[in-house]
């Protein structure tokens, strides 16, 4: 009996093979996105502009306000996570992209809290790391925002959905299952259109909130800075319907339609 198996790359050869697959996936994804109608290509284009503005905002491009740069560093964290998230989308690692997007959403909520509750910002800046983690847990931040605004940028339902898809390991796990049948794909670097659109729209939404609140929190005394909020609104207008909250309903409807089509198909003779 033949017990030999095909050889598989190991060591540095494994990383080289992985990079080759990722590069191919990136090229195909870049060519695919422009075919996704009107909104998706424009969304990616506007996202690049807003991330460029946030990168400059966080590095005092238009002048330094001095101080401890606490807000600037949060903005930089969000913009760098977003840039990495875009790369992961192109490489076919949609779960990993969504995991970073959840972190961007946490920053968006934190910036929102600082805007509506000035004392929260002062407390956050002066707390030691342990107290900061305890006081400003994501769920506590959301509750505090709700008491002021009754609307949270990244609400509980969206946060839980992002966590369930990208981070939680309890219960059944279906990695990279961004397809109509919800079937897991063993690895990244395989294009799934649902994954591209869902991650892109979720990323755009989180970045819109970061941009809007950071614009309002950081002063612009000389008026040199562009209206980042206006650019964020342009990005918001290009966010499509496919997101982490709607995609399951879309899949169920599509599966139902496929089943009906199969029932209507003539029996083979």
Encoded tokens for 205: 């939404």
User: What are the φ/ψ torsions at residue 260 (nearest 5 degrees)?
Assistant: -65, -40
Encoded tokens for 73: 């560093």
Domain ranges of the chain: 24-59+67-251
Q: What is the DSSP code string of 191-213? A: --HHHHHHHHHHHHHHHHHHHHH
Q: Can you tell me the distance from the alpha carbon of 239 to that of 39, in angstroms, rounded to the nearest whole number?
A: 7
Gap between the terminal Cα atoms of the chain: 41
Please report, in tens digits, the pLDDT of each residue of the chain (269 residues total): 556 667 889 999 999 999 999 999 999 999 999 999 999 999 999 999 999 999 999 999 998 888 899 999 999 999 999 999 999 999 999 999 999 999 999 999 999 999 999 899 999 999 999 999 999 999 999 999 999 887 899 999 999 999 988 776 555 677 888 888 788 887 778 999 999 999 999 999 999 999 999 999 998 878 889 999 999 999 999 999 999 998 877 777 777 776 655 555 455 55
């Amino acid at each position: 009996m033949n017990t030999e198996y095909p050889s598989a790359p190991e060591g540095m050869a494994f990383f080289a093979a992985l990079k080759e697959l990722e590069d191919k996936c990136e090229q195909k994804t870049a060519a695919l996105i422009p075919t996704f109608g009107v909104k998706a290509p424009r969304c990616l284009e506007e996202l690049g502009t807003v991330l460029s503005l946030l990168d400059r905002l966080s590095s005092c491009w238009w002048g330094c306000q001095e101080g401890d740069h606490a807000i600037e560093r949060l903005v930089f964290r969000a913009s760098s996570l977003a840039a990495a998230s875009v790369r992961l989308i192109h490489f076919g690692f949609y779960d990993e992209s969504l995991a970073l997007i959840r972190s961007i959403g946490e920053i968006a909520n934190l910036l929102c809290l600082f805007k509506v509750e000035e004392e929260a910002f002062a407390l956050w800046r002066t707390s030691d790391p342990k107290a900061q983690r305890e006081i400003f847990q994501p769920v506590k931040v959301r509750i505090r925002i709700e008491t002021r605004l009754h609307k949270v940028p990244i609400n509980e339902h969206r946060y839980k959905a992002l966590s369930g898809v990208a981070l939680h390991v309890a219960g059944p796990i279906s990695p990279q299952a961004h397809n109509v049948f919800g079937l897991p794909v063993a690895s990244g670097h395989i294009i799934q259109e649902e994954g591209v659109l869902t991650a892109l729209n979720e990323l755009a939404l989180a970045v819109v909130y970061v941009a809007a609140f950071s614009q309002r929190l950081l002063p612009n005394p000389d008026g040199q800075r562009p209206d980042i909020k206006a650019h964020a609104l342009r990005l918001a207008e290009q966010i499509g319907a496919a997101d982490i909250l709607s995609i399951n309903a879309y899949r169920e409807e599509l599966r139902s339609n496929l089943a009906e089509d199969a029932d209507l198909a003539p029996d083979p003779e």
